Amino acid sequence: MGSAATRSELAVARHVAPENFQTACWGEIDAAPYWRRGICFNPGCCAPFEPRRDWQMYCSKACERAGVSEMRRWGHRLALPSLIHRIGKYEAKDDAIRERTRAARRHIAQLQSAWLEERQTRAGQVRS
């Protein structure tokens, strides 16, 4: 490599993939966890358990797998409207794109509400 190499050519490749939510926002999550320590996060279980790690949310591997499956199922439904919302977020002129962006945002909110309601229903069924 000669002296003609620029600073950017010598730099380490930029890391473009963002970390997952739990890693990127660990400080905020640590200050306000979204699960109750020692209560399984799987709304179909909600069993009390003794966590082996501070961040352990599920009582068993089966419940963890159920949680991953739930995230995939809802995440798949949320992915496209999330992308479409972000694509049009700063559109200032095209009314059709602005309306499509609002529709995507509304759809995301509806999915979030439906997901939370489903979890609450499942948790209610466990407790009754």
Binding residues for Zn ion, per CB under 5 A?
40, 42, 45, 47, 59, 63
Compute φ and ψ for 78, nearest 5 degrees.
-85, -20
Q: How far is the CB of 111 from Zn ion (least distance, A)?
A: 24
Token digits of residue 79: 């992915």
Residue with Cβ nearer Zn ion (69 or 112): 69
Name the residue among 67, 74, 21, 61 with its Cα closest to residue 43. Answer: 67
Residue with Cβ nearer Zn ion (100 or 119): 119
DSSP 8-state symbol, 90: T
Q: How far is the CB of 12 from Zn ion (least distance, A)?
A: 42
Residue with Cβ nearer Zn ion (42 or 101): 42
DSSP 8-state symbol, 89: T
Residue with Cβ nearer Zn ion (25 or 47): 47
Q: How far is the CB of 112 from Zn ion (least distance, A)?
A: 23
> Which are the contacts of 63, defined by CB distance < 8 A and separation ≥ 6?
40, 41, 42, 45, 47
Q: How far is the CB of 42 from Zn ion (least distance, A)?
A: 5
